[in-house]
Chain A
């Protein structure tokens, strides 16, 4: 009923991810400098790009929510931020592993790309506490959307500031002036990017479907006059 094409999305994600990692591992040439360790690049960079795009998407959903007043848009924004946060944790962990292997340190303060991603991540970590601390549901949705829009605009602005700051050791992935991805490396990277993007969409659809099913179930339970179990969740409740 909700998200009817979930199996198709899941299979497409699986094929793209496995194919992308296979090409990255076996076809793409070994990095002359870092060897096999560089392969984490095919996971780390797509994760970071998709997580940031997901944050911006949540902001767009916030705009739609404020314009239409439709609670479904608030749920979309909430789920997008939720999935992006999970990807964000993966970005920080894979980034630390790569940094340790390539630069010999788990964390590098002099590197603006890392620091700015951490800032964005910390900012979005306040999204759920913010929702929890506003009791009135309608107000909660509206204020959460305002937060999603402001933070969504902050992401590209932050990115611009990082690009302007002097690059230190973090490689610039998509830089036209510094085309450092030859043939198969670029192909594998784009395939992995597609795979992670599909993963994001699939996870987003799964959580959307799960939330909507839960709300439908709750509404039905309420109609039957039964006890409705209360769950501790910051998600907008559409069953009311």
Chain B
């Protein structure tokens, strides 16, 4: 190995590969998140006492299910690194510190997408009333992808904050849920017409803009703040 500093991109790539390899070898986060999302749907089925949901109710149930499953992932995101000395190892490497958090955010984003593939399929099978056509799936996918960016960014920030605290598992939902309320509002508003008409209408532009703005602002902010979260 030459004495050259590895570029930010290769550092992120290595960290991301490490995250995915860990999850592949000893699946921990993904099965838990997917199982939890399906279990939440069963809870909704019994607590709402409905066999099928449509419209804004369907949008709300899906949004809450995915958000709470995401909380599981956020709470565990940094625990292994904190307990097994991953942070120390990373800090010894001559790479930009934000690489760790960018890789974590990308890993969380990927986990969320994979979990949602399972969760939305289960949802369409178990609870969703309108038949899942191509337009409905397309609109749902676009909305959820935009929401995932926001959840991944906020989740990485809050997860990195919370892992340093004594009350780690308590801090994550208490801080992350209020911060994610705009995402919840926009996601629910976007999915409601989709689930009411089976995707016949275009998505409301203003809520797409809210989600995009949220992702942009917190993405830039997180990029600027990541450096301060790994210092030690």
Which among B161, B175, B178, B214 has the greatest number of chain A C-beta atoms within 10 A? B178
Given contacts A129-B171, A153-B217, contact A119 B181 (CB under 8 A): yes
- Contact across chains for A153 and B165 when beta carbons are under 8 A apart: no
Contact A161 B185 (CB under 8 A): yes
B210 in contact with A161 (CB, 8 Å): yes
Binds A, one of B86-94, B107-115, B223-231: B223-231
- List the B side residues contacting A15 at CB < 8 Å: none
The answer, yes or no, to whether B218 is at the interface (CB within 8 Å) is: yes
Does any Cβ of B come within 8 Å of A157's Cβ? yes
Bits for B65-109, please: 1 = Cβ < 8 Å to A, else 0: 000000000000000000000000000000000000000000000
State whether A122 touches B178 (Cβ < 8 A).
Answer: yes
- Chain A residues, Cβ within 8 Å of B32: none
Residues 126-168 of chain A, each 1 if its beta carbon lies under 8 Å from chain B, else 0:
1001100111000100110111011101100110110011000
B127 interface residue per 8 A CB criterion:
no
Any chain A CB within 8 A of the CB of B121? no
Query: Within the assembled complex, what's the spacing in Å between the Cα atoms of A151 and B157?
Result: 12
The answer to whether B179 touches A150 (Cβ under 8 A) is yes
Known: A149-B221, A157-B214, A164-B210. A130 touches B165 (CB 8 A): yes
* A157 and B161 contacting across the interface, CB-CB below 8 Å: no
User: Is A123's CB under 8 angstroms from B175's CB?
Assistant: yes
Complex contacts, B1 vs chain A, CB 8 Å? none
Checking B164, B181, B206 against A164 with a beta-carbon cut-off of 8 angstroms, the contacting residue is B206
Any B CB within 8 A of the CB of A66: yes
Also in contact, A129 and B167, with CB within 8 A (given A146-B229, A164-B210): yes
| Residue contact A143 to B182, C-beta cutoff 8 Å | no
What are the residues of chain B within 8 A of A145 when measuring CB–CB? 228
For A154, list chain B residues within 8 Å (CB): 179
B161, A146: Cβ atoms closer than 8 Å: yes
B161 touches A139 (CB 8 A): no
For A119, the chain B residues whose CB sits under 8 A away are 178, 181
B171 touching A130, Cβ below 8 Å: yes
Interface residues on B, range: 20 to 34
B164, B217, B218: the one contacting A134 at CB < 8 Å is: B164
Asked whether B221 lies within 8 Å of A160 as measured between CB atoms, the reply is no
In the bound complex, CA of A151 to CA of B158 (Å): 11
A145 to B185, CA, bound (A): 27
Residue B166 at the chain A interface, CB threshold 8 Å: yes
CB pair A133–B165 under 8 Å, yes or no, is yes
Docked complex Cα distance between A240 and B181 (Å): 39
Tell me if B213 counts as interface (CB < 8 A to partner A). Answer: yes
Query: CA separation between A144 and B66, bound complex, in Å?
Result: 28
Contact call B175/A146, Cβ cutoff below 8 A: no
At the interface, yes or no: B24 with Cβ under 8 Å from chain A? no
Contact A139 B175 (CB under 8 A): no
Say whether B157 contacts A146, CB under 8 Å.
Answer: yes
* CB-based contact A135/B210 at 8 Å: no
Interface residues of B in 179-196 (CB under 8 A from A): 179, 181-182, 185-186
Q: CA–CA, A134 to B213, complex, Å?
A: 32
Among candidates A126, A157, A161, residue contacting B171 with C-beta atoms closer than 8 Å? A126
With both chains docked as a complex, state the minimum distance between the C-beta of B159 and any C-beta of chain A, in angstroms. 12
Does B175 lie within 8 Å of A147, measured CB to CB? yes
Asked whether B225 lies within 8 Å of A149 as measured between CB atoms, the reply is yes
Q: Which of B138-187 contact A (CB under 8 A)?
A: 157, 161, 164-167, 171, 174-175, 178-179, 181-182, 185-186
For the complex, give the distance between the alpha carbons of A23 and B132 in Å: 62
Contact partner of B218 (CB less than 8 A), chosen from A126, A129, A147, A150, is A150
- 5 smallest beta-carbon distances between A and B, as pairs: A133-B165, A123-B178, A133-B166, A133-B167, A161-B182
Known: A147-B161, A158-B182. 13 other contacts (CB 8 A): A66-B225, A66-B228, A126-B174, A126-B178, A129-B167, A134-B164, A143-B164, A143-B229, A150-B157, A153-B217, A153-B218, A161-B182, A161-B210
11 contacts between A and B (CB under 8 A): A66-B228, A126-B175, A126-B178, A130-B175, A134-B164, A145-B228, A150-B157, A150-B218, A153-B217, A161-B182, A165-B185
Q: Please list the residues of chain B having a beta carbon within 8 angstroms of any beta carbon in chain A.
A: 157, 161, 164-167, 171, 174-175, 178-179, 181-182, 185-186, 206, 210, 213-214, 217-218, 221, 225, 228-229, 231
